[in-house]
Amino acid sequence: MTASTAHPIASYFSESYTESREKFLAAADAADARLTSIKHPGQGPDGEALYMDVASVGRQDAENAVVIVAGTHGIEGFCGAGVQTALLNNPEALAGLGDVKVVMIHGHNPHGFAWLRRVNEDNVDLNRNYVDFSEPQDLNEYYLEVKDLVLPQTFGDESEAAMQAWIAENGVENYQKAVMSGQRIDSQGVFYGGTKATWSNQTMHKVLPEVLAQQKNVALMDIHTGLGPYGHGDLIHSYPADTLEYKELQNWFGEEVIAINAGEYGDVVAAVPRGPIVSSLDTILPEHRSFALVNEYGTVEFDRVIKAIRADNWLHINGDLDSEQGRAIKQEMRDSFYCVKDEWRQMIWDRAIWSFERMAEGLRNL
């Protein structure tokens, strides 16, 4: 089912963190949602306050809950927040999910959302941060081989040619393993996982058990952008093939779901990230039966996305945000992670509501 809304889907999406939050809060109020707002210790680029906002609708003591997370990778929150706001504004779509509590996390990483970055205030990639820091962590020393190429002193055609030469010699798969799987050896580098739990990580560990205290079964979807076919919405999980979670998600989504730990996404991403929130629900919600997956919407070609991440990382360390180059890099970040075309936004909504309906149905059939 593709639910209808009172306004064009594009109207629920935004062009800034502040606009997105205002639309989300207004929609939550109109839907009589229960709302909790947790203030972030930092500020946005214009001095604005930052928050993780948690809205829940539906019967509060329902057995099952669908959780929708937006903004794990900051700038990617424009997509997820647009879906959340559209859903809150659409009683028909909410009713189509049945007797389920719907919880929406707006601004999992509010700093990155406001500053148009994937990372948080400490340059940490949240999807490399949900690990048990009481145990020894793999630092990924292989990253040191490409560190100076990934983050050169001067970012431009010459440095990019050097990076591409390394990839040509060593292969894309080795590049992805060195860079994209995450590292804890260079706090200024890309895909840095951190050495302790971030504010967002700690907040989610506190908020989710509280807001889901009355539920038995939980299905969480973390909405991302930047990989996969344009506007499609790849459904990706990290459960091994011999688990009950793997089998259930196969039942829910059939061939539409991709198991990254079973090697089913190798043509696009060879390296499995260490520390995503969707791999951590057992520790966040140990008293619940839980399922988690990513909905990854494609935007532009893969190489362009990775280059945008590297350039943004370089800009915040060595560059000038107010320069012509700085503004161009920020625009490229927007273009790489957020498409402003109405057709793309409609595709996002259609895939999302289809996914939510199957999650809710799957929980009911447990």
The least confident of 163-167, 232-236, 288-292 is 163-167
- The whole-angstrom distance between residue 92's C-alpha and the CA centroid of its chain comes to 26
Indicate if the pLDDT at residue 2 is higher than 50.
no
Are 49 and 31 in contact by the 8 Å Cβ rule? The answer is: no
Rounded CA-CA distance 195/326 in Å is: 29
- The whole-chain average pLDDT of the chain stands at 93
Q: What is the pLDDT of residue 26?
A: 98
The least confident of 30-34, 205-209, 274-278 is 274-278
DSSP H helical ranges for 254-341: 281-284, 302-318, 324-337
> Sheet harboring 289-298: ordered strands across?
34-43, 49-57, 101-106, 64-70, 217-230, 289-298, 234-237, 257-259
Give the pLDDT confidence of 89-140 residue by residue, as tens digits: 999 999 999 999 999 999 999 999 999 999 999 999 999 999 999 999 989 9
Rounded CA-CA distance 366/364 in Å is: 6
Q: What is the pTM of this model?
A: 0.95
Query: CB atoms < 10 A from the CB of 268, how many?
Result: 16
How large is the average pLDDT for residues 301-308? Answer: 92
Indicate if the pLDDT at residue 274 is higher than 50.
yes
Which H helix or E strand runs over 115? helix 110-115
Indicate if the pLDDT at residue 340 is higher than 50.
yes
How large is the average pLDDT for residues 261-272? Answer: 59
- The answer to whether the Cα torsion of 324, 329, 331, 332 is positive or negative is positive
Residue % of the chain over a pLDDT of 90: 85
Rounded CA-CA distance 108/120 in Å is: 10
Query: Cα-flanking dihedrals φ and ψ of residue 253, to 5°?
Result: -115, -10
Give the pLDDT confidence of 317-337 residue by residue, as tens digits: 999 999 999 999 999 999 999
HSE-CB at 239 with a 13 A cutoff on CA atoms is 20
- Band (269; pLDDT cuts 50, 70, 90): low
Q: What is the pLDDT of residue 178?
A: 86
Indicate if the pLDDT at residue 268 is higher than 80.
no
In 18-114, the DSSP E strands lie at 34-43, 49-57, 64-70, 101-106
Beta pairing partners, 293: 221
- Band (4; pLDDT cuts 50, 70, 90): very low
- Band (245; pLDDT cuts 50, 70, 90): very high
Give the pLDDT confidence of 226-238 residue by residue, as tens digits: 999 999 999 999 9
Are 109 and 77 in contact by the 8 Å Cβ rule? The answer is: yes
Q: 9-131+191-304+333-364 has which CATH code?
A: 3.40.630.10
Rounded CA-CA distance 333/300 in Å is: 11
Q: Give the pair of three-digit tokens for residue 72.
A: 């794990």
Are 264 and 243 in contact by the 8 Å Cβ rule? The answer is: no
Q: What is the pLDDT of residue 156?
A: 82
Which H helix or E strand runs over 22? helix 17-30
Indicate if the pLDDT at residue 1 is higher than 50.
no
More confident residue, 160 or 200: 200
- Band (3; pLDDT cuts 50, 70, 90): very low
- Domain boundaries of the chain, sorted by first residue: 9-131+191-304+333-364
